[in-house]
């Protein structure tokens, strides 16, 4: 059975434009994978603590030296990484807030990018350790940034995904959503989703 991991990060929940595009993507996915299981990781309703010294200490501590609180942090990281490893494909609903991804999504990546588990450093530089699989980014933003060379959202997402070994990335972009062209842009994104061969 093919499993799809849906990473949801809009503070508007189901009403967010990226979430609505994700719903459309999931319908398209299910049409191609009738027995597919969809695992939802809702980063707003189930927030992940932001990366701090406590988390770094927990994730770098030897197993036998971990405190119960540290083990809880490691267990969460293991769970999040396990969801990525188990998925046949991943769809990330990623709105742009203040030129970047939501802090909730950044916190998820901070738990996913783990030295010795999802990447390692070698004499030739870092190497991603995750098995590659399709990742679909549904990137939404209120303004027009792509053609203006001001898109720091998608390049960062591609960079960190590739860092952990996920290089098969496809981006569906909907922008100008607060500039009067929302309906046209959303429809174009939906059509782009429909054209994806799954």
Q: pLDDT band at 181, cuts 50/70/90?
A: confident
Rounded to whole angstroms, how far apart are CA atoms 97 and 11? Answer: 10
49 neighbors 55 (Cβ within 8 angstroms): yes
Facing residues of 93 across strands? 8, 138
Convert the pLDDT of each residue in 139-157 to its tens digit.
Answer: 999 888 887 888 999 999 9
Residue 82 confidence (pLDDT): 97
Tokens of 105: 């999504």
Rounded to whole angstroms, how far apart are CA atoms 116 and 169? Answer: 23
User: Which strand (E) or helix (H) includes residue 75?
Assistant: helix 68-86
Secondary structure of 49-73 in HEC code, one letter for each residue: CCCCHHHHHHHHCCHHHCCHHHHHH
76 neighbors 114 (Cβ within 8 angstroms): no
Q: Where do the structural domains in the chain lie, given as residue ranges? A: 3-48+85-194
Confidence check: pLDDT of 198 > 90: no
Confidence check: pLDDT of 1 > 60: no
Biggest distance spanned by C-alpha atoms of the chain: 57
Q: Tell me which CATH homologous superfamily contains domain 3-48+85-194.
A: Flavodoxin domain (3.40.50.360)
Rounded to whole angstroms, how far apart are CA atoms 134 and 167? Answer: 8
- Is pLDDT larger for residue 10 or for residue 197? 10
Rounded to whole angstroms, how far apart are CA atoms 63 and 186? Answer: 47
Mean pLDDT (the chain, rounded): 93
Q: What is the rounded average pLDDT of the residues 44-72?
A: 93
């Amino acid at each position: 059975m093919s499993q799809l991991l849906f990473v949801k990060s809009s503070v508007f929940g189901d009403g967010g434009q990226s979430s609505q595009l994700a719903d459309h993507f999931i319908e398209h996915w299910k049409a191609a994978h009738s027995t597919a299981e969809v695992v939802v990781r809702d980063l707003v309703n189930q927030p992940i603590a932001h990366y701090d010294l406590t988390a770094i200490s927990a994730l770098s501590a030897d197993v036998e030296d971990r405190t119960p609180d540290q083990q809880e942090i490691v267990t969460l990281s293991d769970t999040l990484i396990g969801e990525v490893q188990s998925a046949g494909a991943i769809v990330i609903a990623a709105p742009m807030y203040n030129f970047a991804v939501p802090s909730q999504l950044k916190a998820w990546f901070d738990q996913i990018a783990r030295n010795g588990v999802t990447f390692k450093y070698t004499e030739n530089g870092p190497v991603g350790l995750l098995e590659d699989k399709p990742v679909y980014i549904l990137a939404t933003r209120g303004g027009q940034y792509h053609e203006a060379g001001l898109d720091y959202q998608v390049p960062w997402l591609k960079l960190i995904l590739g860092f952990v070994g996920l290089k098969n990335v496809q981006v569906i972009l909907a922008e100008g959503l607060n500039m009067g062209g929302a309906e046209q842009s959303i429809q174009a994104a939906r059509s782009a989703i429909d054209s994806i061969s799954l």
